[in-house]
A and B are shown apart, each in its own frame.
Chain A
Amino acid sequence: MSWSDVTYDPIDSSDVLERVGTPEDGAVALFLGIVRNSNDDRPVAGMEYEGYADMAREQLAVIVTEAAERADSDRVAAVHRLGELAVGEVSVAIAVSAPHRGEAFDAARFVIEEIKTRLPIWKRERYLDGEAEWLEGHLPLAREGAP
């Protein structure tokens, strides 16, 4: 069964993995987004993720459903984190299982790309020098996520 969530709690990637996989699946793809320690050579201390949580939860469920249709697999799981994250913490985890690797990789890629273009989440990078900046994002189109 497909599953998705948007949470302020730390993400356990093994928990996300356990939500996919059936005896007919020969492939499992796991994607993790991680807060990295620099951006454009500027040392990063951490990342603050702000979200329109209720809408993000609904939109992520729509994205996961679309990914499941594309992969012809209902084993798609995705979770996005909100709040203050330190370098090295997981901000997003996506797991897909399918009979073959192609569908699994494609569906996982689809989910992360769609998250970046339409999930109502924003991030502010905090730098070691004490400054912080909202990162540039994508302008979602009205048709995306429409019923």
Chain B
Amino acid sequence: MEVTVLLFAAHRELVGAHDMVVSLPDGATVRTLLVELRGRGGNWADLPLHGAVAVNRKYADGETVLSDGDEVALIPPVAGG
């Protein structure tokens, strides 16, 4: 399956990418995805394993199971206002 990954702010600058499509095995979780991204090496390894994540625009956690076509956003600590 494939999911779309979105990166923002400090994460976006860290790896130099805003959005990308990532292929994952069926049954993959948010944690699976984060391990895959961090495994790309270089600055990717500095993405947090336990940071906030949203799946289809709702906050999720590492155990959340992903589906084909999901939109997964890595959410750096937020600073609105």
Do B52 and A139 touch across chains, with their CB atoms under 8 A apart? Answer: yes
Do A145 and B58 touch across chains, with their CB atoms under 8 A apart? Answer: yes
What's the Cα separation between A55 and B75 when bound, in Å?
11
What's the Cα separation between A51 and B39 when bound, in Å?
26
Residues of chain B within 8 A of A51, CB atoms compared: 8, 80
10 contacts between A and B (CB under 8 A): A54-B57, A55-B57, A117-B78, A120-B80, A121-B78, A121-B80, A136-B79, A139-B52, A139-B77, A146-B58
Closest-CB distance, B42 to chain A (whole angstroms): 20
Interface secondary structure of A, over-half rule: mixed
Do B59 and A144 touch across chains, with their CB atoms under 8 A apart? Answer: yes
Residues of chain B within 8 A of A147, CB atoms compared: 58
What's the Cα separation between A119 and B75 when bound, in Å?
10
Interface size class of B (residues with CB under 8 A): 20 to 34
Pick from B51, B58, B61, B78: contact of A119, CB under 8 Å: B78
Given contacts A140-B59, A142-B60, A145-B58, whether A122 and B52 have CB atoms under 8 Å apart is: no
- How many residues from A make CB contacts under 8 Å with B? 37
Closest-CB distance, B16 to chain A (whole angstroms): 15
Do B59 and A80 touch across chains, with their CB atoms under 8 A apart? Answer: no
Do A134 and B78 touch across chains, with their CB atoms under 8 A apart? Answer: no
Do A138 and B77 touch across chains, with their CB atoms under 8 A apart? Answer: yes
Residues of chain A within 8 A of B76, CB atoms compared: 122, 134, 137
Do B58 and A122 touch across chains, with their CB atoms under 8 A apart? Answer: no
Do A52 and B81 touch across chains, with their CB atoms under 8 A apart? Answer: no
Extra contacts, 17 of them, besides A52-B54, A58-B58 (Cβ < 8 A), are A50-B9, A55-B73, A58-B57, A91-B81, A112-B81, A119-B80, A122-B10, A122-B76, A134-B79, A137-B76, A138-B78, A140-B52, A140-B75, A140-B78, A142-B59, A142-B61, A147-B58
Closest 6 pairs (CB-CB, A-B): A137-B77, A137-B79, A121-B80, A122-B9, A55-B57, A142-B61
